[in-house]
Structure 1
Amino acid sequence: MATATPLEVPEHSKPRARGRLQLLLILLVVLGPMVLATSMYKLKFWVPDGRSYHGVMIGNGESLSDLGVAGQDERWQLLVSTPTACAEDCQRLVYLARQIQVGLGRDASRASHALAAAQPASADYQALLGREYPQLQRYPLDAQRYLQKVGEAGPQLWIVDPHGNLVLRYDAKVDGKHVLDDLRHLLKLSNIG
């Protein structure tokens, strides 16, 4: 009769220990990422500081009507807004909005460009818009409501989604390449419009 020494493990406990180790590893693989992601969200660690967009993100559900604009398109929209008549900076943004739409290439039909101004443009600029910008949509703008929301008197360029929600805002000094990059990224991620 053989006797077991204290260093030897009985044969019947080896499969049980291996099964427990496998169960522990499976639980770790399945539950580990969920616990890590929840901890990162709640405790705000390992959260990247960078961002992939260039404008000011409007993430609070504001729409065109909140901005004081009466009108909407069912496509992505590059909207130029000004609480006054469309002066030099505004005219630059109108030109830039059209160029960005053209720059979208095959996705150009998914976007439009528009102007929302509180005051009518001069007769010369109206004629230029009719001749050079035939697809430009024009909307009235409630200047008081606009200034309450935006707080800036200068012209702004907005990216608006097909549901009329404000997505990104840019000031008059924006680089058109940055707006084009942002809009391309949005169109790539979006199934609407």
Structure 2
Amino acid sequence: MAAATSPLDVPDRRKPRGRLQLLLILFVVLGPMILATSMYKLKFWVPEGRSYHGVMIGNGEGRADIGIDAQDERWQLLVSAPGACVEECQQLVYLARQIQVGLGRDASRASHALAAAQPLAADYQALLGREYPQLQRYPLDAQRYIQKVGDTAPQLWIVDPHGNLVLRYDAKVKGKHVLDDLRHLLKLSNIG
């Protein structure tokens, strides 16, 4: 006599298909994360090109780390002068102001500033008061600056609204490059 088969005794053909679907879903979700982590850690398939012109400061340093105690809740074009603010420094101050004006409708999202370690010459101080009334001025701790930056030449920095250093430029930078970089940052940023 044939034994009656119960529904529990019938092999389920859906299990292998369900496992395949689960593995496929895990691969789709975890695969890109594993690939991205591997690319970052092992440095393969990393593009060689870059879209910015200055030196990227990506280590979370802020103004205080280079000897400038200041606060501003906007993007900032900061000129640092660890020595006397002479020709190159004065050119960067002029450039910072022109870049801010060049932002057009976004000009209110940025400011320009000068951090100098030495007192400014009286005639230049008078010129700044007359021509650059919105220029913020800060003292600069030259020893901490030189220790951290390692350069005594004037620099132009882009600083985010949180006070983090983003990009650094030397005195030979072209204003169009800085303007392009700052516009790109403002476009991507929801702060400041």
TM-score by length of 1: 0.84
Q: Report the Cα distance in structure 2 between the residues aligned to 1:83 and 1:35, rounded to whole angstroms.
A: 45
Match status 1:53 vs 2:52: yes
Query: Letter of the aligned partner of 1:111 in structure 2?
Result: A
Determine the C-alpha separation between the residues in 2 that align with 1:26 and 1:78: 47
Match of 2:7 in 1: none
Q: Secondary structure at the match of 2:84?
A: coil
Structure 1 unaligned blocks of 5 or more? 1-11
Between the two proteins, the alignment pairs up a number of residues equal to 182
CA deviation profile, 1:24-75 (whole Å, cap 9, x unmatched): 6545444433333233233322111111111111112211111111222111
- Asked if residue 101 in structure 1 is aligned to residue 100 in structure 2, the reply is yes
91 and 36 in structure 1: CA distance in 2 versus 1, 3 angstrom threshold = same
Q: TM-score, normalised by structure 2?
A: 0.85
Partner Cα separation in structure 2 for residue 165 and residue 95 of structure 1 = 23
For residue 174 of structure 1, give the secondary structure of its aligned residue in structure 2.
coil
**Backbone CA RMSD of aligned residues:** 2.1
- Residues 126-170 of structure 1 deviation map (CA, whole Å, 9 limit, x = unaligned): 111111101101111111111111111111001111111111111
Q: Deviations over 1:92-111 (max 9, x none)?
A: 00000000001111111010
1:151 matches 2:147: no
Q: Could you say if the C-alpha distance between residues 35 and 97 of structure 1 is closer, same or farther in structure 2, counting changes exceeding 3 Å?
A: same
TM-aligned CA distance change 1:92 to 1:35, over 3 Å: same
Report the counterpart of residue 7 of structure 1 in structure 2: none
**In percent, how many aligned pairs have the same letter?**
85
Equivalent runs, 1:33-52 vs 2, <5 Å: 33-52=32-51
Displacement, 1:124? Answer: 1.1
Q: In the alignment, residue 152 of structure 1 is paired with which amino acid? A: D
**For the structure 1 residues 47 and 131, does the alpha-carbon distance in structure 2 shift closer, same or farther, using more than 3 Å as the test?**
same
Specify the alignment match of 1:9 in structure 2: none
1-side partners of 2:124 and 2:23: how far apart? 73
Aligned-partner residue type, residue 146 of structure 1: Y
Letter in 2 for 1:176: G
**Distance in structure 1 (CA, Å) of the matches to 2:80 and 2:123:** 19
Q: Alignment partner of 1:157: what SS?
A: strand
Structure 2 regions of 5+ residues with no counterpart? 1-10
Residue in structure 1 matched with residue 172 of structure 2 by the alignment = 173
- Whether 1:63 and 2:45 are equivalent positions in the alignment is no
Distance 2:24 2:58 in 1: 40
Counterpart CA distance in 2 for 1:36 and 1:79 is 38
